[in-house]
Structure 1
């Protein structure tokens, strides 16, 4: 599934390995993400509240994995869910290559033909057993790396849609999905986050983890 960035009257496909911020700047725009939706052509459209720049920025070079046997862009959606002073988190299973045992936000890949909002709600339930109400899109993360994938050396581009969500009726967190990539789930005190082994995603999303966010 591919991504299109939208701002003003402009629509631009996100190239493999490219950060949406760089793509906007190339086309003379800056702004914040406001929502994402499945387009009529089956691509995910990420809309920005854009401001026109005085002049476009020069394109940012994107390296390529010289020995990669698979080029893969993965679009995924995750939720920042706060209940009082706790953050809902999931821990990656021990078999997950390169990130085994790390804590992260609940979420996962957007399936072909699936709305991102539906993907967030589905993944939160599968990974933590919680029914959540998905609110606004607060961040789009882009991470590009080369390395060993599940079955090949990959040139991998992760595009992550980070939403804020609420849980009207919190229950003890538990993993629902069988044989998935989640090994555990928990409501974690926000003041103890830094002590946990965690993914790169958490640090990037940390400004949106607020004690008052779930009230």
Structure 2
């Protein structure tokens, strides 16, 4: 389980950059895994502060992204992995932009919304922006197209 924030201010999206599994730097939403017993609502607030320096108020639950896939497991057997990613909308209430030290991300920045399609990014970013734009009542997106 993980929780992520879509924070938009003045036409810009708050993002963090991390090194993906292939070693390529990619833009991600601020957020991450829940700790044992932690509410995803608290996770997103903690993760945004850790990764960007900002304090956020959660203003909406945009949706839950469920993904099931096979990952490399022990002894060359695939592991059946199921992830749940809570996507929240947030608003900055304090703090100052800074990079995370010793964490999973290396840089935090505001990016213009119109520049996002040209960034090297994870697929969750596109899904989260679609949730933010469409705001489906059930928090679930229908497949495009």
CA deviation string 1:157-205 (max 9, x = no partner): 221000011013473x3223x3321121111111111110111101111
1 or 2, which has the higher helix percentage? 2
| Structure 2 portions without partners, runs of 5+ | 134-145
Return the offset for 1:122.
0.4
For 1:26, the equivalent position in structure 2 comes to: none
For 1:92, the equivalent position in structure 2 comes to: 18
- Partner residue of 2:3 out of 77, 92, 102: 77
The separation in 1 between residues aligned to 2:84 and 2:24, in whole angstroms, is 20
- Partner residue of 1:167 out of 92, 115, 130: 92
- The reply on whether 1:206 has 2:129 as its aligned counterpart is yes
Which structure exhibits the higher relative contact order, with contacts defined as CA atoms closer than 8 Å and separated by 6 or more residues?
2
CA deviation string 1:84-114 (max 9, x = no partner): 1110001113xx4247411111000111111
- The reply on whether 1:155 has 2:75 as its aligned counterpart is no
- 1:90-169 counterparts in 2 under 5 A? 90-93=16-19, 96-98=20-22, 100-148=24-72, 154-169=79-94
The separation in 2 between residues aligned to 1:157 and 1:101, in whole angstroms, is 24
Larger Rg: 1
The 3 A distance-change label for structure 1 pair 122 and 207 is same
| Structure 1 portions without partners, runs of 5+ | 1-74, 211-215
TM-score, length-normalised on structure 1?
Answer: 0.55
TM-score, length-normalised on structure 2?
Answer: 0.79
CA deviation string 1:100-137 (max 9, x = no partner): 41111100011111121111110001111111111221
